Chain A
Amino acid sequence: MTEIIQKVKNLSIGFKSKKGEEILILRNISTNIKKGETVGIVGESGSGKSTLALAMMGYVKHGLFTIGGECEFNSSNLLKMKNRDLEKIRGRKIAMIPQNAGQALTPNLKIGYQIDEALQLHSDLKEEEREQKISELLNKVRLPSPETIALRYPHELSGGQQQRVAVAMALAGTPDLLLLDEPTTGLDVTTQAHVLELLNFIAKDTGTSMVYVSHDLGAIAQVSDRIIVMYSGEIVLEGPSRDILKKPIHPYTYGLLKSIPKLSLAGLPQSMPGSQPQPGTMHRGCSFFDRCDFSEEKCKNNSPQLEYLEELNTSVRCFNHKSLMNDSQVNQTVNKIKTSLQDKEILNLSEVSISYAKQKLLDQVLNRISDENPTVKDININIKKGETIALVGESGSGKSTILKSIAGLLRTKGGIIKFDRNRNLSSDLKERDPNDLRIIQLIFQNPDESLNPNHTVEEIIAQPLKLYFGLKGEQLKKNIIDLLQKVRLGEFYTSRYPRQLSGGEKQRVAVARAFAAKPDIILCDEVTSALDVSVQAAVLNLLQQLKEDFGTTYIFVSHDLAVVRAISDRVAVLYQGRLCEVGPSKDVYQFPSHPYTEVLLGAVLEPDPDIKPKLVAEDIVEEKPPQKGCSFQGRCSRILGDICKNEVPPWQITNSGNSIRCHIPLKELQKDQIN
């Protein structure tokens, strides 16, 4: 039996409410971390996963306190230790890698200096040895030319590089246990895949135990040996990673796996009803009772205990796990999306280019925008009525920029945006008439920011109704309630403020506000990326239902290829503000692909230990699009030579009507990619 390095025993952490009640965030958690294993802690926001990870290094957030139990490391309880003793353990024995490395690094100190600081604190090396160790560490996290990186400041590095530096700093004290709190959540898909691969390598190479906290089952699946699933402050399922992902015997995990969109499945995954109970609202019975498909009468009043199953080496908190065990696998069923595609063109972008360059004085006087190499260039898309078209790409690909220009929030440099074949939409908001503004509505990524915190739901939805239709009194009220019902919210929501709603409810209100204008086109900017997985599926299903009812056209921006696969009819892949590939979604997800699409598809993380990401290209970040030639030349692994650097590639059309912009002939692309 392998050595246990961290032992969590009956741990409960909570806070005192204003009324003086104890409200539990973590309820009676017990688990062990063994030497050399990687444990993934997965759960939705508010499930207590970060609180647990922090407790493992003896830290309890301000406002929270330990109610009972202990965290034992090297047979001493971290939660009772004095700060001075904790200092000796933190960094040296237990290290933490934060979510946002950009904020965790001091902005005005050089990278090398910061790593040296960690070395001085956590090791006994002499000066010359430390010098060597710094480049050794930077090499280990695979940063190119460590000598130059060490002399840079954090802001001179990309997000992925910053995260690597954070890993290097954590490794400086050669810790026995590494805690990672959502280390890849803020990164681009390709970077994320690379960082995860690095973490896997480090775990094997150094034999460090890792605790990986994430909401993303896809990322967890790639790194962990064992998975702990948390729900509402409790462990509901704990066991070997493969078993949990292939044969989940807890209804929550089962539902969660079913609600994740996958690349291999076209169509919308089923959603889980309801939401996680807030801390302090728990009554008797199982905390998952309200959302469970397998619940029985006894689940209502008796809370199940965590039961250890010898034969599976798994602990589960459910009365009905046996019946789930027979249900051998997650049979994901999807709701096929219906397309009411009409042959009528609704929006046409031709030769659109957009520039963020600052205007020179002469240009300002002449009221023109001049930039030889604009951020977004040569965008030609025809959008048909009733279609869902997705714009896909990493950050900096210009997808949101294009959306802003369609909405009139950002002036274009050139090109024409035409509505309904004959109406030119000005790219300046002030020049559009109210009807032009009404037909295009926006839904934003983060409903916390898109809803005014000081307005009630009623006031929020009333705004477009008053502005566009001049509704008042009874009629206004009736319309608001109608809209709320359409987004599956009850009438009593009208008097609530956004802070009283859950993330999914807020996004529904935002959807209702967009539909209040009776728009023809809705621009969705990453609408599900701020939501939990189980809620994401529900919002996607709602959007699809509304689209079928109203015949609205969606322009859907996302970085998540699986979500895009689930909802869209057509996909446009963008790199550095230039189109790479446009086509029906079923064809874009098949070969031959543009080399960039291939990279993106390879990097998608699926919650399946058998599907490993394929890392095709380097995850370099390019600041600016190239002056001439193909936009992807800097990262392409299939680059042909000078032709790619000098000439803009032609559009090639596949048999199924998929357009790919590449110099490589389609046949060769297909041959290479399938191998």
Chain B
Amino acid sequence: MKLDNIYQEEKKSNFAKVSEIIITMASRPSGFIGLSILIFHVILAFISPYIAPYDFKAINPTLMLQAPSAEYWFGTDDLGRDVFTRTILGGRTALTITFFGSLIALLWGGLLGIFCGLVGGKTDDIVMRIVDAFLSIPWILAMLLIVSLLGTSTEVLIPALGFFYGKGIVRVARAATHDVIAKDFIVSARARGHSNFSIIWNEIIPNVRDAILVEGAMRWSWMLLGFSSLSFLGFGVSPPTPDWGLMISNARGLMSFAYWSVIAPIVGLSSLIIGINLTADAFAKALGIDRSTKAPV
């Protein structure tokens, strides 16, 4: 019986694993579209300062509210600024802040959730009630309070967003931990006398990592929407820095006669959110397929 040859599978490098997952994701139409949109936005965020045709803050009253033309592709806004320039630059701040915000959310939410799931008992009860209490506060009110007290700098926004979006991850990580905690390999590690840290790092994280990453990717798109809402309300990015939320807010009164000034940032924002959502979905599916390699006997 030469089953050996079939199962002979070299231990893959992490790079090979990641690229395999990405290929699986891209092999479905929805995953391909999502990934393309996301990659397009990320590349755009990097190169937009170099390809922007005009100065994003150059005000020119003579060019107020021009319709799209060969010269100004997406037209101009109420201060005569080029909408195309401002649109391609408008996602940079949002993307950066929410990316790091999600990382923070993943880190503290994931770790706290795993810890609560493992330890259980009174510690778990107390921590989870506190998390519940925070979950019941409308995040936007809390964010407005924080921003108005501490200002709208990046150093304030990233941890604040990270904190508010991490609460949900605590629950997901805790639930995922509960699924593995009852398994015998955890009991076995406990009986051998491993420390809690070692159990979390070696036994639990490899098994809950996927669930938490998928949740984190979902949170990223929500956070993007949330951050844009803050900008829309005037508590995110401060003018004249171009930002989609801010642009939508500024141009919303002109929607009836200068639709171009509001449509471009709307398309930018919603396509990025859809892109992240589709990618997160495909990511979850790619991981799910990887897990069920058993023959359906």
Contacts and interface: CB of A to CB of B under 8 A. Distances in A.
A360 B9 CA distance: 54
Contact of A63 (B4, B6, B296): B296
Given A277-B1, A492-B8, A499-B294, A449 B184 contact: yes
Contacts of A452: 185, 202-203, 206-207
Interface in B1-50: 1, 3-4, 6-11
B191 A407 contact: yes
Contact of A444 (B9, B188, B203, B296): B188
A235 B107 CA distance: 55
B193 A467 contact: yes
Interface string A421-459: 000000001001010011011101110011111111001
A110 to B, nearest CB: 31
A442 B188 contact: yes
Contacts of A464: 192
B1 to A, nearest CB: 4
Contacts of A48: 297
Contacts, number: 97
Contact of B297 (A279, A407, A456): A279
A450 B193 contact: no
Interface in A473-499: 490, 492, 495-496, 499
Contacts of B184: 444-446, 449-450
A408 interface: yes
A407 B4 CA distance: 36
A519 to B, nearest CB: 10
A281 B6 contact: yes
Contacts of B193: 429, 432, 434, 437-438, 467
B187 interface: yes
Interface string B139-181: 0000000000000000000000000000000000000000000
A409 interface: yes
A454 B207 contact: yes
B194 interface: yes
Q: Per DSSP, are chain B's interface residues mostly helix, strand or loop, or mixed?
A: helix
A437 B188 CA distance: 11
A278 B295 contact: yes
B185 A451 contact: yes
A64 B192 CA distance: 42
A146 B207 CA distance: 47
B183 interface: yes
A517 B192 contact: yes
Contact of A499 (B188, B293, B297): B293
A51 interface: yes
Given A281-B6, A409-B187, A496-B7, A453 B192 contact: no
Contacts of B206: 452, 454-455
B254 interface: no
B252 interface: no
Contact of A437 (B6, B183, B192): B192
B25 to A, nearest CB: 16
A98 interface: no
A51 B297 contact: yes
Contacts of B198: 467
A441 B198 CA distance: 18
Nearest to B1: A290
B192 A467 contact: yes
B251 interface: no
A408 B191 contact: yes
Nearest to A490: B4
Interface in B186-222: 187-194, 198, 202-203, 206-207
Interface string B285-297: 0000000011111
A243 to B, nearest CB: 29
Contacts of A459: 202
B1 A275 contact: yes
Nearest to A458: B11
A442 B194 contact: no
B275 to A, nearest CB: 27
A409 B191 contact: yes
Interface string A272-285: 00110111110000
A382 to B, nearest CB: 23
A46 interface: yes
A277 B3 contact: yes
A334 to B, nearest CB: 26
A500 interface: yes
Interface in A23-40: 23, 25
B183 A449 contact: yes
Interface string A8-47: 0000000100000001010000000000000000000010
A532 to B, nearest CB: 13
Contacts of B203: 452
Interface string A311-323: 0000000000000
A442 B202 contact: no
Nearest to A276: B1
A303 interface: no
A467 B6 CA distance: 33
A373 interface: no
Contacts of A51: 297
A446 B9 CA distance: 24
A82 interface: no
A84 interface: no
A429 to B, nearest CB: 7
B188 A279 contact: no
Contact of A15 (B188, B194, B295): B295
A453 B207 contact: yes
Nearest to B5: A281
Contacts of A492: 4, 8
A499 B125 CA distance: 35
Nearest to A64: B296
Interface string B221-253: 000000000000000000000000000000000
Contacts of A350: none
Contacts of B7: 496, 500
25 contacts: A15-B295, A48-B297, A63-B296, A64-B296, A275-B3, A277-B1, A280-B295, A408-B191, A409-B190, A437-B191, A441-B192, A444-B187, A444-B188, A445-B184, A449-B184, A449-B185, A450-B183, A455-B206, A456-B11, A463-B192, A464-B192, A495-B11, A496-B9, A499-B293, A499-B294
Interface of B: 1, 3-4, 6-11, 183-185, 187-194, 198, 202-203, 206-207, 293-297
Given A275-B3, A409-B191, 20 more contacts: A25-B297, A63-B296, A64-B296, A274-B1, A277-B3, A279-B297, A408-B191, A432-B193, A434-B193, A437-B191, A441-B191, A442-B187, A444-B188, A449-B184, A450-B188, A452-B202, A454-B206, A456-B11, A495-B9, A496-B9
Ordered nearest first, which 5 A-B pairs have the shortest CB separation? A454-B206, A450-B184, A437-B193, A290-B1, A63-B296
